[in-house]
Amino acid sequence: MTLLTHELRLLLRSRMALLALLLVALLAAASVAAGMAEVARQRDVIARIQPKQAQDMAAVAQWAAETKDPGTAAYYSFHATWDTPSPLAFAALGLRDVAPYILRVRALGLEAQLYDGEAFNPELALPGRFDFSFVLVYLTPLFVIALFHDLVSGEREAGRLRMLDALTGSGRSLWRRRVLLRGGLLFLALAAPLTIGAIQSAVPLPTLLSVQGLVALYLAFWIGVTLLVGRMRWSSVANAATLAGIWLVLTLILPTIAHVAINRLIPVGEGVELTLAQREAVNRAWDIPRADTMRAFYAGHPEWKDSPPLTDAFHYKWYFAFHQVGDESVAPKVAAYRNGIEARDTAARGIGWLLPSVGVQAALTRLANTDMAAQLAYQDRIRAFHEKLRNFYYRYLFTDTPFEKDDFDRAPTFVGGA
Amino acid sequence: MSLTATGQRIILSDVHLSYGSQRVLRGLSLHVDAGEIYALLGGNGAGKSTTMSALLGFARPDSGTILVAGHDPIAQADKARDQIAYVPENVALYEHLTARENAAYLLALAGRHPAPQDIDGAFEATGLQTSAWDKRMGGFSKGMRQKVAIAIALLRAVPVLLLDEPSSGLDPRATADFNRLVHDVARRGAAVLMVTHDLLSAADIADRIGFLESGRIIDEAAAQGADRFDVRDLHRKFAREAVTA
């Protein structure tokens, strides 16, 4: 029987160690299952939106085609966009629980449509999602503490340390073996459910290996912390209390302080403020000469400047033009908002180099494509699609081309991301 | 264990050792030969535990020479410890392992991998009841735990056995059993050094008794004849040591 087998038997005979390992495995499995269920639900919603979208378009086409008015067609037709979850999203849901992953847009001003999703109930988002990243970042350190806080002090308190030290070869190699065994079993308890989930979700191997690497590094960090505290030769109780304090500071207090500090140092308005600003700009168009609006529009879109002049009658091209001018009038604010969000994100990632809990979460959400960058990328895809959509309808609106029923089939379709 | 070599297995020569400003050993000199049982008798604070620590390489002497089976316990810690079986005052083994599992594990830590029948043989030699061999050690008495520890020492077949207050807390019958075991180990050629403050136990078991006071041997008595020691004389020596200490 090898020494490792002896150590394994010794460890597994300890009820507390066995319970801790089983609990980690159970929590990891539950979090993977919960994450996969949430991702499956989101995928299902995304899958259902497409036939519904086709039905909706068919209904709009049915009566809009009667007028052959491209404005009516553009005004009443909503076009679905969606952000397909990545294969790894189950492990770190990130912003997907608060940011919209489906948005139906029209060719009207986009800024007012983009932030409709921010009107969720914040209290519902407060507890966050129970996913693998939560188990890893917040709960796993507690199990590391449970398994490692008395690694040496426990032997000292039991009166075995002197005897163990007196046995040849039992010095460093004994502790190294015990650390590797406990760390290895913890890794296994976390990585096994994750790997099963990843295989079922068709996560690419390099991504899976990266996540497993992160798990190993995070475990190594906390094991290192427990070993450092263990070197102080305090009692097991003192070790556990100190480590619990360190856990509280590193995973809860410091990240919260950092979050507040970043928000203070990099002020960013709410997305809904952009909506209001855009709405104000749009509404002002009703009070100013329509020619002013068209002049402003043609300045930015000279390709349509040869469009027939407006008459006294209502024309949708004016309506769509002032929406676009409204969007353009808030463009500096939109850019500032985005720069602010990106700056906060960059700062948070910087903090991640100092606070492993923040860093691991940031890395996991990056790998899972569920972080702020992914959300902004989805927004970029919506903007690109919206531009195509506008240009599609502009071709009819600004040339007074009748919009036939078949023309709906020529409308651009959104290509899902991720 | 089949050690036949003779010679001095434990040597302490003019050893001085301090903890900070506190001088604990002040010129301690003694030697223990192969097959000999030496009892180091001393009161509290005489330096018994420090002597044990120095022999195990846990405490570094300021000066003097220490050799365990020819090895310096500090400079050649691994080699020296490989030659030592150490039985602490309170033998604490793993309570959730059986006696057999404890023996197999601790021997494996020391680089020994005896066959199961060898472990059984050692347990038999120590007089540990057969029914206890496969029981978890949580409910073992001190005497039973010492028997397991001695069985491990037997299986390691080392030339040096260090015993730290072995008889404290043992009833007379368990003490007699233990003494028989230690004699058995010494008969096989091991040098046995026990530190104790139990004069009668030392007189029962030792071939020589060293009286330790303030970190040095102030007197020594060797067993002679069938009566071995004059216990009254030992008492006088120990009492004098206790008074002067």
Interval A176-212: pLDDT, tens: 999 999 999 999 999 999 999 999 999 999 999 999 9
Please tell me the predicted confidence (pLDDT) of residue A66: 83
Calpha distance A378→A375 (Å, rounded): 5
Span B56-69, average pLDDT: 95
Q: Name the DSSP letter for residue A414.
A: P
Calpha distance B18→A207 (Å, rounded): 58
As to burial, measured by CB atoms within 10 angstroms (0-12 exposed, 13-18 middle, 19+ buried), residue A275 is buried
Cβ of A163 within 8 Å of Cβ of B58? The answer is no
Calpha distance A266→B32 (Å, rounded): 76
Span A51-67, average pLDDT: 87
Is residue B120 over pLDDT 50? Answer: yes
Strands (E), chain B: 8-19, 22-33, 37-42, 63-68, 84-87, 160-164, 191-196, 208-213, 216-222
In which element (H, E) is residue A79 found? Answer: strand A79-82
Please tell me the predicted confidence (pLDDT) of residue B3: 39
Is residue B5 over pLDDT 50? Answer: no
Please tell me the predicted confidence (pLDDT) of residue A120: 54
pLDDT in tens, A265-283: 998 877 777 788 888 888 8
**CA dihedral for A20, A24, A30, A34, sign (positive or negative):** positive
CA-based nearest residue to B59, from B91, B12, B93: B12
Please tell me the predicted confidence (pLDDT) of residue B7: 80
Cβ of A162 within 8 Å of Cβ of B94? The answer is no
How close is the nearest chain B Cα to the Cα of A184, in Å? 20
Span A19-40, average pLDDT: 97
Cβ of A174 within 8 Å of Cβ of B92? The answer is no
Please tell me the predicted confidence (pLDDT) of residue A165: 87
DSSP assignment of A360-378? HHHHHHHHTT-SHHHHHHH
State the pairing for strand pair B84-87/B22-33: unpaired
How high does pLDDT run on average in chain B?
Answer: 88
φ/ψ of residue B86, rounded to 5 = -120, 125
B contact test, residue of A163, A175, A178 with most B CBs within 10 A? A163
With beta carbons less than 8 A apart as the criterion, state whether A360 and A136 touch.
yes
Please tell me the predicted confidence (pLDDT) of residue B137: 94
DSSP assignment of A273-298? HHHHHHHHHHHHGGGS-HHHHHHHHH
Kindly state the percentage of chain A with pLDDT values over 90: 73
Calpha distance A165→A175 (Å, rounded): 10
pLDDT in tens, A72-119: 999 999 999 999 999 999 999 999 888 889 999 999 999 888 876 545
pLDDT in tens, B201-244: 888 889 999 999 999 999 898 887 767 777 777 777 777 655 55
With beta carbons less than 8 A apart as the criterion, state whether B35 and B191 touch.
yes
Please tell me the predicted confidence (pLDDT) of residue B4: 40
Calpha distance B27→B62 (Å, rounded): 10
Please tell me the predicted confidence (pLDDT) of residue A279: 84
pLDDT in tens, A297-321: 999 999 999 999 888 888 999 999 9
Contacts of B148 in chain A (CB under 8 A): none
Calpha distance A51→A42 (Å, rounded): 15
Calpha distance A111→A103 (Å, rounded): 12
Cβ of B81 within 8 Å of Cβ of A168? The answer is yes
A167 closest CB neighbour out of B88, B90, B110: B110
Please tell me the predicted confidence (pLDDT) of residue A231: 93
- Tokens representing A394? 């502009």
B104 closest CB neighbour out of A1, A164, A169: A1
Side-chain-side CA neighbours of residue A235 (13 Å): 4
Cβ of B109 within 8 Å of Cβ of A169? The answer is yes
C-alpha distances (whole Å) from B86 to each of A162, B11, B59, B134, B174 are 9, 16, 15, 23, 19
Place of tokens 């809990």: A357
CA-based nearest residue to B110, from A131, A380, A163: A163
B56 closest CB neighbour out of A1, A3, A166: A166
ipTM: 0.83
How close is the nearest chain B Cα to the Cα of A22, in Å? 19
Q: In the structure, what pLDDT confidence band is assigned to residue B100 with cuts at 50, 70 and 90?
A: very high
The pTM score is: 0.87
**Cα B143 → chain centroid:** 15
Contacts of B92 in chain A (CB under 8 A): 158-160, 163
Place of tokens 């030290």: A165
Cβ of B111 within 8 Å of Cβ of A168? The answer is yes
Calpha distance A79→A106 (Å, rounded): 6
φ/ψ of residue B44, rounded to 5 = -65, 135
Cβ of A14 within 8 Å of Cβ of B101? The answer is no
State the pairing for strand pair A79-82/A102-105: antiparallel
With beta carbons less than 8 A apart as the criterion, state whether A322 and A293 touch.
yes
Kindly state the percentage of chain B with pLDDT values over 70: 95
Calpha distance A335→A357 (Å, rounded): 30
pLDDT in tens, A117-148: 545 555 655 666 789 999 999 999 999 999 99
Size of interface A-B (CB pairs under 8 A): 60
Cβ of A174 within 8 Å of Cβ of B88? The answer is no
SS3 A81: strand
With beta carbons less than 8 A apart as the criterion, state whether A196 and A31 touch.
no
- Name the residue in chain A with its Cα closest to that of B56: A166
Place of tokens 């102080």: A232
Is residue A294 over pLDDT 50? Answer: yes
A contact test, residue of B55, B71, B101, B109 with most A CBs within 10 A? B109
